[in-house]
A and B are shown apart, each in its own frame.
Chain A
Amino acid sequence: MRRASIYVALVLLAAVSVVPFLWMVATSFKHGPDIYTKTPSLLPLDKKTGEWAATLDNYAYVLDVGGLGNAFVNSVWVCAILVPAKLLIDALAAYAFARIPFPGRDKLFMIMLAGMMVPAITLLVPRIHVTQSLGMFDSGWGLIVPNIASVLDIFLLRQFFLSLPGELEEAALIDGAGRMQIFWRIVLPLSKPVLAVVTITSFLFHWNDLVWPLLVTNDPELYTLPLALQQLVASPDGGRAYYIMAGATLAVLPVIAVLLVFQRRILQGIAFTGLKG
C-alpha cells in the first residue's frame, strides 16, 4: 500500500515535470486558431472538427522569418569551437597545477580560486568593456574568447588528476617521456569520466546561455538560439504561442537528446559539480 502511494506521488511529480514539454511540442504542431481552445488538448486537433491537424508551418516560419535557423547554426558553431577549446585549455592548466612542480604554482592556484568567488554579475559590465577594447564586441570571437576557460573546470580536473596514481607517470618520466607525451598518452586516457562530465556540462551551459550573447551581440546575424528565441518572445509579431513553442522545441530538443544519451554521466557528474559554466 505504502509502495503504491509512493509511485502515485512520483507519477504526479513526473507529470508536473514533463507535461509542460509535451504541451510545448503539441502547441508547436498546431494551426494558429487550434491553440485557443477551452479544453486543452495534448494532440494537434482541429478545433471545429476534432480531427488530426498537425502542421510544420510554425517551424518553417521560425526557422526562416524568425531567424532561428540561422541562430541554430550559430549555436552549433559556438559550441563546436568553444567546448573543445575550453576543455583543452582547462585540462592543460589543471595538469600543470596538479602534476608539474614550478615555483609559485600553489599560490597562483589559490588566487584563481579566490577570483571564482566574485559573482558573475559583478564582472559583466567591465567584461563587456574588455571585449570591446579587444575589438571582439559584436563578433563571433566575442561569443567565444571571453568564455574560453573556466576556473571551476580547472579545479575539478585538477582534483581528478591528483587522484591518478603517480607511478605510471614516474615510470614514463624515467623512460624519457616528455611531459606532453605523458599528458596525451597517460593522463587524458585515464581521465575520460571527468573529461566527459566537464564537456557535457560545458555544452549544456553554453548551448543554453542567454545572458552573454544578449550583452555581447547587436547584430541579429550573430544571435545564438536562446537569444533569437528571446527576441521572438519579445517581438510583437512573433509573440504568438505556436511560433514561440516551435522555437522553444528547437532549443530544447538537442539538450533532451544529450540528456538521454549521456544521462548516467550527467546525473553522476551533477552530484559533485552542480551545473555550471
Chain B
Amino acid sequence: MAAPVLERVTTGPGRRARRRPGARRRDHLIGWLLIAPALAYFLIFLLYPALSALYYSFTDWNLRTEASWVGLANYADLLFDDVKYPHFWKSVSVTLQYTLIAVPLTLVAALAQALLLNAIRRGANLFRLLLFLPVVTAEAAVGAIWRWLYDPQYGLINTLLGLVGIPGQNWLNTPELVIPALAFIAAWQCGISMIIYLAGLKGIPGSIQEAAIIDGAGPWQRFWRVTFPMLRPTTFYLLVTGVIAALQVFGLVYVIFSGNGRSVTGGPEQSGLTYVLHLYLFAFRYDAMGAACAMSFILLVFIMIVTALQFRFVKQEAA
C-alpha cells in the first residue's frame, strides 16, 4: 500500500516535504474523481450484472415479467431434463469437440508460421502482415466469406480439392464436417497466437541454439529438445486463453448458421449448435432468461475447472 509511505515522506524531511499542506487530502479527492467514471461503469455494467446473473439463474424470468424464484430448478432441468432442454448435452458435446479440434489446430498453425517467419530476414514483415490479415477481419465478414468459400457447387475450397483429386463436400450441410470446417476457420485466424509465438521465439537466447548445434543436434532434435521446451510458458498461455475463448465461440457460428431470419437451428442436426449459441437462443429467442443465466454459470464453473486443471497438469515453466 502506497498511502502510508507517502504520509511519512510528506511529513518527513527532504525534497517532497516542500509540497503545500493539504495536498494529500486533495489527492484523495482527485484520485476518487478520476476513477469515478470507470468505477461507475464497473459497478453498473460488470459487478451488478455478474451478481444479478447469479440471482436470475435461480428464477423463472423472461425480461418482461417479474422474476419468480425457482431455486435450483433451472440447473437441474438443464442437466437432467432432456424433454425440456433436448439439445443441452448436444451443445456441450459440439463445444467440446470444437475446442478439442480448433485449439490444437490453431496452436500448431501459429507455431509453424512463427518458426518459418523466425527463420527468414528478407520479407519477414510482409509475410507477418499477410498472415495476420484474417485476425483483424470482423467475424460477420469472416462468416460471410467462408460460407462462400465452402459453397458446395461454386466454392473455392471444393474447386481446389478437385484439382488434387479429392471429391467436393457439402461442408456446412454435412453434420460430421461442420466442426472440422469451423475449426479450420479458427486456424485460419491464428495470427494473434502467431505473433505471440514469434515474440517467444525472439526471447530464446541464440547461445542455447548454438550450443545445441555444437553438440551435434539436428534441426528436428533442436526443435523438440530446445525450442519447444523453451516456448512452454508461451504455449501454456495460448492454451489456457485459447480454450477459454473456444468454449465461448458464438459470433462466427451465429453468422454461418443464422439461416433465414428467426429460425436459427445451429446447422444440420444441430451439429454447429455451440453452447453459447444455445444460450443465446434461450435468452433472446425462447425468452428463458433464467435458464440462460443458469447456462452461463454452468459455463463459468466449467471454465474455472478446466483452467484449474490446466494449471495443475500442464507444464508451464520453460525447461
> Which residues on B sit within 8 Å (CB–CB) of A154?
38
Contact of B56 among A17, A126, A180 (CB under 8 A): A126
Task: Judge whether A103 is part of the interface by a CB distance below 8 angstroms.
Answer: yes
Would you list which residues of chain B between 153 and 170 have a CB under 8 Å from chain A? Answer: 153-154, 156, 159
Most B Cβ at <10 Å: residue of A10, A35, A208, A275: A10
Q: Are B46 and A115 in contact (CB under 8 A)?
A: yes
CA–CA, A154 to B143, complex, Å? 31
Task: Judge whether B303 is part of the interface by a CB distance below 8 angstroms.
Answer: yes
Q: Are A226 and B48 in contact (CB under 8 A)?
A: no
CA–CA, A204 to B134, complex, Å? 13
Task: Judge whether A141 is part of the interface by a CB distance below 8 angstroms.
Answer: no
Q: Are A97 and B35 in contact (CB under 8 A)?
A: yes
> Which residues on B sit within 8 Å (CB–CB) of A106?
1-2
> Which residues on B sit within 8 Å (CB–CB) of A115?
42, 46-47, 50
CA–CA, A182 to B199, complex, Å? 34
Task: Judge whether B37 is part of the interface by a CB distance below 8 angstroms.
Answer: yes
Binds A, one of B172-180, B224-232, B246-254: B246-254
Task: Judge whether B183 is part of the interface by a CB distance below 8 angstroms.
Answer: no
Q: Are A245 and B136 in contact (CB under 8 A)?
A: no
* A binding-site residues for B, Cβ under 8 Å: 3, 6-7, 9-10, 13-14, 16-21, 23-24, 27, 35-37, 39-40, 89-90, 92-93, 95-97, 100-103, 105-106, 108, 112, 115-116, 118-130, 132, 134, 146, 148-149, 151, 154, 170, 173-174, 176, 179-180, 204, 207-211, 214-215, 225-227, 229-230, 232-236, 241, 244-245, 247-248, 251-252, 255-256, 258-260, 263, 266-267, 270-271, 274-275
CA–CA, A7 to B138, complex, Å? 29
Q: Are B144 and A245 in contact (CB under 8 A)?
A: yes
CA–CA, A105 to B156, complex, Å? 56
Q: Are B50 and A118 in contact (CB under 8 A)?
A: yes
Binds A, one of B69-77, B99-107, B116-124: B116-124
Q: Main SS of chain A's interface residues?
A: helix
Q: Are A271 and B199 in contact (CB under 8 A)?
A: yes
CA–CA, A147 to B205, complex, Å? 41
Most B Cβ at <10 Å: residue of A89, A225, A232: A89
CB distance from A103 to the nearest CB of B (A): 6
Would you list which residues of chain B between 1 and 17 have a CB under 8 Å from chain A? Answer: 1-3, 5-6, 15-16
Known: A24-B145, A118-B46. A226 touches B30 (CB 8 A): no
CB distance from A120 to the nearest CB of B (A): 7
> Which residues on B sit within 8 Å (CB–CB) of A259?
129, 132-133, 136
CB distance from B138 to the nearest CB of A (A): 4
Known: A102-B31, A241-B148. A18 touches B130 (CB 8 A): yes
A-B complex: 9 closest residue pairs judged by Cβ atoms: A102-B31, A93-B38, A208-B138, A226-B140, A126-B49, A96-B34, A149-B41, A100-B31, A271-B199
Q: Are A230 and B258 in contact (CB under 8 A)?
A: yes
Q: Are B137 and A208 in contact (CB under 8 A)?
A: yes
Contact of B146 among A20, A100, A121, A226 (CB under 8 A): A20
CA–CA, A21 to B41, complex, Å? 38
> Which residues on B sit within 8 Å (CB–CB) of A179?
27, 30, 34
Task: Judge whether B314 is part of the interface by a CB distance below 8 angstroms.
Answer: no
In chain A, what residue has the closest Cβ to B44?
A130
Q: Are A89 and B127 in contact (CB under 8 A)?
A: no
Task: Judge whether B281 is part of the interface by a CB distance below 8 angstroms.
Answer: no
Contact of A245 among B5, B148, B276 (CB under 8 A): B148
Q: Are A90 and B284 in contact (CB under 8 A)?
A: no
Task: Judge whether B206 is part of the interface by a CB distance below 8 angstroms.
Answer: no
Task: Judge whether B259 is part of the interface by a CB distance below 8 angstroms.
Answer: yes
Known: A119-B248, A125-B289, A151-B42. A13 touches B113 (CB 8 A): yes
> Which residues on A sit within 8 Å (CB–CB) of B181?
none
CA–CA, A3 to B134, complex, Å? 26
> Which residues on B sit within 8 Å (CB–CB) of A176?
20
- Number of cross-chain contacts by CB at 8 Å: 286
> Which residues on A sit within 8 Å (CB–CB) of B154?
35-37, 40, 241
> Which residues on B sit within 8 Å (CB–CB) of A130?
44-45, 48-49, 52
> Which residues on A sit within 8 Å (CB–CB) of B132?
259, 266-267
Contact of A263 among B53, B63, B129 (CB under 8 A): B129
In chain B, what residue has the closest Cβ to A263?
B129
> Which residues on B sit within 8 Å (CB–CB) of A123?
45-46, 49-50, 53
CA–CA, A69 to B47, complex, Å? 37
> Which residues on A sit within 8 Å (CB–CB) of B119?
6
> Which residues on B sit within 8 Å (CB–CB) of A9?
116
CA–CA, A13 to B117, complex, Å? 11
CB distance from B167 to the nearest CB of A (A): 15
CA–CA, A42 to B251, complex, Å? 28
CA–CA, A251 to B255, complex, Å? 14
Binds A, one of B84-92, B207-215, B265-273, B290-298: B290-298
Q: Are A118 and B48 in contact (CB under 8 A)?
A: no
CB distance from B61 to the nearest CB of A (A): 9
Known: A89-B37, A275-B192. A233 touches B248 (CB 8 A): no
Q: Are A235 and B261 in contact (CB under 8 A)?
A: yes
In chain A, what residue has the closest Cβ to B130?
A14
